[in-house]
């Protein structure tokens, strides 16, 4: 699918190895200096990664009796499709004179039966792709191209049935149709390798897709540029599915120890040792003749080519690096993912088993481990066992994967393959860099110090020394990249050259093959010999190609200009001095997130955002100023929301800042597919919101364990009017006062309506969860007895459509809030004191606390938790003491880089008004669709 044999010079064909056995069995080939052209493989690009999975041969052989035994047989036929010319009789000026009749050529047509069959198949396969994409969350929110960015383009069957000027034009259209269908089949084959159909298709469609047996067919193969694509390559996954893998090997790769395990000499020795043992004994690296020479490189890099020099071995990590108050996340190369660690003792235990490093970032502490050792029987299962038949072939390829322990249900564990395919870009290592662990975008590369890469701030400024995207770069030493032509941006449809009678077949095939191979990739090097196609016209033009065995590059001239303009616009957006994607007009009327959208006629100067991708980019740029849009933080694991409750519940968010932040999480966070995901992230960040249900439906949710007589009496008294809580009394302070506090607090958190502390967010959510982590799990089960039995919750009147209705939710009283904060009332001689900071004081005095628990606010509260729970420092502070406490913790180098202000949120309100208007108020939660529809303010 990348080049035809006619494109390859004879000298290269003569040196092309026929089935080399140097690398992974039946999978890899090395492209040496004298052999740059695999016969069928496709140059890798994340926007069209599926092309290498396209079938390259029929499954059953030749047709039987004129019918297609294999429904895909016609795609691989070497015989030309029947193309016939037609002509018509026309009359001269005098239509009554038969002598004036003449025959006029009408064009060449593809066989109508073949054209109908190909068009029908193309539409059917593309429909399957669309259904699978719509039903797949991790694909729809793809990390590397955005929403559904890498769906194969749909083939336009009308071009196949149209008349063509020459016989060659018609055959070229036939070949283009074949390759478009093969690309769609490649996507389907890749999808089947990483996901189950799971009822996404109708039974007939499911049966048809399985009947194609795509995973059993030979594949076209993929070409990797190791220096650019190594963090994308899932070699084990490709090996298991027998997809041929090719990569160029030059002196540059030979001198870089990073890729030592992929060198031809390494695998030649490996295969030689395997043959000498007849495949019975395991091959050890130490037995290689050249092991002494390679040992340094092999120990320096792990299998995913990450430099290990920055890591430390086991117990060499300083125990003082671990602070109980910090939050830790493990990044694991084996699983290509990250997970939060609840207890800091766990992370310290991991450091004794794994080689890793610890780094402080503005968002938390990141522990990166470079290898995963085989687990012990006591550890939870994380991986599936290898597919049968591959264990021996890949013994030296990676550490054996351990299956579920006895008694564990393996259904709930995803395979390594799927996990890596889902998140490979999100956690991809890059040369000379650590992970940018809190941003999955390709153009935001985290340095070893955690600083983001500087971006250009104005149009026309010189490009930085390092490209913003690892896919816009063509390495100067790689003649493979030059031969395979330019790279185009996702979404670009490759032009198909027009053909004339004088066209050289070799040059023609070269042009056409490169146009197909280019697909939709980012153009970076436009050379002469460009093929262009005018918009809105079927007329194609081809510039004269230079005399070269390579053939010309293919790209649209207009596209090159548009792409360059888009890149400059992106730079202006990202580097705008105000931090805004587009300077907003100051006269746009916006009173808040729940107000009606302004009419375009009332604000004519508001610039329209053209598409969803631009809108998401602008929202993300704004969100970085007011919140931490960090995919790694995510929601809580193992939460099961009661959908019956959510079907009648409504989401209420009175705080404008929280509403805007939740909108940003919904728009920018990869993996968010529903409003429950957004609410879990909101809980994680301590955003205040509430879930109300109609008072008329409250008793429908009365459930749970039976309440005993004693407990029932207690609850009746608790929810009776006039009930007063027992408050703290000073009594000498210190440990005695803390024991009194803990006793009252334990009773408080056992109350059914204590889940309302989670709704409150901020400091209250942090304290309540610090003493009882079950509160979040209790919250997602539905309203408490306070609402369902005693009707003692908070009520409010909400308008839904044309009528108003009372709604109710759980609430906590002011005295309960005071008790949670450890408030001790003052006397005539003393002031009020608090064990925990009052929310209003922290909000006003701490620059880290601006309506949500930022990374800095979380660390401050975690340090307090550590002092109270671990170090037993029971200090009650007055309001003035708390103000001084926060001021001291944010001076100098401890000051936050960005402090959100009201103008920032006003800007966000205007932005969402023009992109994703807030419609969550008074709407049933289950009816809130995520991702949201893009709705520009002004639309034709």
- What local confidence, expressed as pLDDT, does residue 480 receive? 27
Same domain (yes/no): 319, 455: yes
Cα distances from 162 to residues 81, 83, 109, 114, in angstroms, run 15, 12, 7, 13
Residue 559 has pLDDT above 70, yes or no: no
- 619 and 716 in a single domain? The answer is no
| Average pLDDT score, the chain | 64
515 pLDDT band (50/70/90 cuts)? Answer: very low
The two tokens of residue 504 are 């050289």
**CB environment 722-757: b (16+ within 10 A), e (fewer):** eeeeeebeeeeeeeebbebbeebbeebbebbbbbbb
Residue 869 covered by a domain: yes
**pLDDT-derived band of residue 877, with 50, 70 and 90 as boundaries?**
very high
Percentage above 90 pLDDT, the chain: 11
**212 and 225: one domain?**
no
DSSP 832-850: -BBSS--HHHHHHH-TTBS
| Whether the predicted pLDDT of 108 surpasses 70 | yes
Select the more confidently predicted residue: 615 or 140: 615
Same domain, 597 and 719: no
Tell me, what's the pLDDT at 616? 84
835-853: average pLDDT: 90
CB 234 within 8 A of CB 424: yes
- Domain count across the chain: 6
pLDDT at 557 over 80: no
CA distance 785 to 215: 54
In a domain, 61, yes or no: no
**What's the mean pLDDT in 768-776?**
90
Helix (H) or strand (E) holding 338: strand 337-341
Q: 350 or 116: whose pLDDT is higher?
A: 116
- CA dist 180 and 151 (Å) reads 12
Per the model's pLDDT, the better-predicted residue between 319 and 867 turns out to be 867
* 211 and 225 together in one domain: no
The answer to which of 380-384, 416-420, 879-883 has the lowest mean pLDDT is 380-384
Per-range mean pLDDT, top range of 421-430, 487-496, 845-854: 845-854
Tell whether 451 is covered by a domain. Answer: yes
* H or E segment to which residue 807 belongs: strand 803-809
Q: Are residues 752 and 842 in the same domain?
A: yes
In a domain, 663, yes or no: yes
Task: Give a yes or no: residue 146 inside a domain.
Answer: yes
Least confident stretch, 6-20, 158-172, 851-865: 6-20
Residue 458, domain extent? 307-428+431-469
For residue 406, the tally of other CB atoms under 10 A from its CB is 6
Residue closest to 256 by CA, chosen among 289, 225, 287: 225
Which pLDDT does position 887 carry in this prediction?
A: 83
Strand duo 328-332 + 42-43: pairing = unpaired
pLDDT more than 70, % of the chain: 51
DSSP annotation of 452 reads: B
pLDDT band (50, 70, 90) for residue 876: very high
- When comparing pLDDT for 617 and 532, which is higher? 617
Residue where a domain stops, chosen among 469, 499, 518: 469
98, 120: one domain: yes
- pLDDT of res. 326: 53
In a domain, 245, yes or no: yes
- Among 300-309, 652-661, 711-720, 872-881, which is the least confidently predicted range? 300-309
Q: At what angle do helices 656-668 and 675-684 cross, to 10 degrees?
A: 120
Greater pLDDT, 309 or 211 = 211
Between residues 93 and 82, the one the model is more confident about? 82
pLDDT at 840: 94
Contacts of 625 (CB under 8 A, 6+ apart): 579, 898, 900, 904
Least confident of 115-129, 185-199, 293-307: 293-307
Residue 586, pLDDT score:
27
Q: Are residues 409 and 332 in the same domain?
A: yes
Rounded to an integer, the average pLDDT of 601-627 is 72
- Count the Cβ atoms, other than its own, within 10 Å of residue 814: 8
Residues 105 and 177 in one domain: yes
429 phi and psi, to 5 degrees? Answer: -75, 155
Distance separating alpha carbons of residues 591 and 602, to the nearest angstrom: 15
* Alpha-carbon dihedral 844, 847, 850, 855, rounded to 10 degrees: -140
pLDDT at 409: 38
In this predicted model, which residue has the larger pLDDT, 33 or 544? 33
318 in a structural domain: yes
Answer yes or no: do 133 and 197 share one domain: yes
Residue by residue, DSSP assigns 354-403 as: S-EEEEEETTEEEEEES--PPPPTTSPP--PPPPTT-TTTTTTTSPPPP-
Closest CA to 576 of 586, 568, 565: 568
557: helix, strand or coil: helix
Q: What integer pLDDT is reported at residue 756 of this predicted model?
A: 95
Q: Of the ranges 336-340, 532-536, 788-792, which is most confident?
A: 788-792
What is the maximum span of the chain, computed from C-alpha positions, in angstroms? 124
Q: Is there a domain that residue 356 lies in? A: yes
Task: Judge contact between 368 and 331, C-beta under 8 A.
Answer: yes
pLDDT band at 543 (very low <50, low <70, confident <90, very high): very low
Question: What is the tens place of the pLDDT at every residue in 885-917?
Answer: 888 777 666 677 778 888 899 898 888 888 888
Q: What is the pLDDT of residue 513?
A: 27
Do residues 32 and 120 share a domain? no
Indicate the pTM of the whole model. Answer: 0.42
- Kindly state whether residues 335 and 210 are assigned to the same domain: no
DSSP 157-206: THHHHS-BSSHHHHHHHHHHHHHHHHHHHHHHHHHHHH---TT-S-HHHH
Q: Which has the higher per-residue pLDDT, 297 or 62?
A: 297
Q: Counting Cβ atoms within 10 Å, is residue 316 exposed (0-12), middle (13-18) or buried (19+)?
A: exposed
pLDDT, position 453? 30
Choose the most confident range, by mean pLDDT, from 113-117, 284-288, 639-643: 113-117
């Amino acid at each position: 699918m990348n080049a035809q044999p006619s494109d390859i010079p004879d000298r290269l064909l003569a040196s092309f190895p026929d089935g080399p056995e140097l690398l992974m069995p039946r999978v890899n080939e090395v492209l040496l200096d004298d052999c740059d052209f695999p016969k069928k493989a496709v140059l890798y690009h994340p926007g069209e990664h599926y092309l290498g999975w396209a079938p390259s041969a029929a499954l059953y052989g030749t047709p039987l009796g004129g019918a297609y035994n294999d429904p895909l047989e016609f795609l691989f036929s070497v015989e030309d499709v029947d193309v016939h010319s037609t002509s018509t009789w026309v009359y001269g000026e005098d239509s009554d004179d038969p002598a004036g009749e003449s025959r006029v050529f009408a064009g060449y047509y593809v066989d109508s039966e073949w054209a109908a069959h190909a068009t029908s198949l193309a539409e059917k396969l593309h429909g399957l792709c669309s259904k699978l994409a719509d039903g797949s969350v991790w694909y729809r929110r793809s990390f590397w191209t955005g929403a559904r960015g890498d769906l194969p383009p749909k083939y336009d069957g009308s071009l196949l049935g149209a008349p063509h000027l020459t016989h060659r034009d018609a055959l070229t259209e036939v070949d283009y149709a074949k390759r478009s269908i093969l690309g769609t089949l490649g996507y389907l084959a890749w999808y089947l390798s990483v996901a189950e159909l799971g009822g996404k298709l109708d039974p007939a469609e499911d049966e048809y897709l399985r009947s194609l047996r795509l995973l059993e067919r030979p594949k076209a193969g993929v070409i990797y540029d190791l220096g650019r694509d190594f963090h994308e390559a899932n070699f084990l996954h490709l090996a298991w599915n027998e997809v041929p893998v090719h990569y160029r090997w030059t002196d540059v790769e030979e001198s870089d120890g990073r890729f030592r395990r992929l060198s031809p000499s390494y695998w030649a020795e490996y295969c030689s040792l395997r043959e000498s043992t007849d495949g019975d004994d395991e091959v050890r690296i130490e037995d290689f003749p050249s092991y002494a020479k390679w040992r340094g490189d092999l120990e320096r890099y792990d299998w995913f080519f990450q430099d290990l020099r920055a890591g430390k071995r086991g117990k060499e990590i300083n125990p003082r690096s671990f602070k109980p108050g910090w939050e830790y996340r493990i990044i694991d190369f084996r699983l290509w993912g990250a997970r939060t660690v609840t207890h800091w003792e766990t992370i310290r235990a991991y450091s004794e088993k794994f080689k890793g490093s610890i780094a402080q970032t503005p968002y938390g502490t990141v522990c990166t481990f470079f290898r995963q050792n085989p687990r012990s029987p006591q550890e939870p299962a994380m991986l599936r066992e290898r597919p049968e038949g591959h264990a021996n072939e890949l013994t030296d390829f990676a550490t054996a994967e351990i299956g579920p322990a006895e008694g564990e249900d393996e259904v709930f564990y995803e395979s390594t393959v799927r996990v890596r395919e889902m998140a490979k870009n999100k956690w991809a290592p890059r040369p000379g860099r650590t992970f940018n662990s809190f941003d999955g975008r390709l153009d935001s590369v985290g340095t070893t110090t955690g600083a983001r890469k500087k971006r250009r701030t104005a149009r026309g400024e010189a490009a930085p020394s390092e490209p913003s995207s690892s896919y816009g770069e063509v390495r100067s030493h790689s003649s493979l990249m030059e031969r395979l032509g330019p790279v185009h941006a996702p979404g670009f449809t490759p032009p198909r050259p027009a053909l004339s009678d004088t066209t050289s077949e070799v040059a023609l095939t070269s042009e056409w093959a490169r146009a197909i191979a280019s697909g939709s990739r980012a153009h970076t090097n436009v050379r002469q010999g460009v093929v262009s196609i005018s918009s809105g016209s079927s007329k194609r033009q081809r510039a004269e190609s230079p005399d070269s065995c390579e053939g010309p590059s293919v790209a649209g001239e207009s596209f090159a200009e548009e792409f360059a303009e888009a890149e400059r616009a992106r730079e202006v957006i990202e580097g705008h001095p105000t931090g805004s994607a587009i300077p907003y007009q100051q006269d746009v009327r916006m009173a808040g997130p729940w107000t009606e959208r302004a009419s375009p006629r009332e604000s004519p100067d508001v610039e329209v955002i053209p598409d969803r991708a631009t809108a998401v980019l602008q929202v993300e740029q704004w969100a970085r100023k007011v919140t931490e849009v960090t995919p790694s933080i995510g929601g809580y694991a193992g939460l099961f929301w009661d959908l019956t409750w959510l079907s009648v519940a409504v989401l209420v968010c009175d705080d404008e800042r929280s509403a805007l932040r939740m909108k940003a999480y919904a728009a920018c966070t990869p993996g968010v597919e529903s409003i429950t995901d957004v609410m879990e992230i909101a809980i994680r960040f301590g955003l205040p919101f509430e879930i109300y249900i109609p008072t008329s439906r409250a008793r429908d949710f009365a459930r749970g364990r039976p309440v005993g007589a004693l407990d029932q009496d207690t609850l009746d008294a608790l929810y009776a009017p006039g009930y007063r809580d027992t408050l703290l009394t000073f009594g000498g302070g210190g440990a005695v006062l803390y024991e009194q506090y803990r006793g009252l607090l334990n009773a408080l958190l056992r109350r059914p309506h204590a889940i309302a502390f989670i709704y409150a967010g901020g400091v209250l959510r942090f304290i309540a969860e610090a003493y009882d982590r079950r509160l979040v799990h209790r919250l997602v089960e539905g309203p408490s007895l306070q609402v369902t039995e005693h009707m003692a919750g908070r009520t409010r009147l909400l308008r839904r459509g044309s009528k108003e209705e009372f709604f109710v939710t759980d609430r906590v009283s002011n005295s309960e809030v005071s008790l949670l904060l450890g408030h001790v009332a003052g006397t005539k001689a003393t002031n009020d004191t608090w064990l925990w900071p009052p929310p209003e004081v922290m909000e006003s005095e701490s620059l880290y606390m601006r309506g949500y628990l930022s990374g800095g606010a979380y660390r401050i509260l975690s340090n307090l938790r550590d002092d109270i729970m671990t170090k037993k420092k029971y200090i009650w502070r007055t309001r003035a003491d708390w103000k001084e406490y926060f001021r001291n913790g944010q001076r100098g180098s401890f000051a936050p880089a960005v402090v959100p202000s009201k103008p920032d949120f006003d800007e966000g309100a205007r932005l969402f008004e023009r992109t994703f208007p807030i419609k969550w108020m008074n709407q049933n939660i289950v009816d809130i669709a995520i991702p949201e529809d893009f709705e520009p303010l002004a639309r034709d």
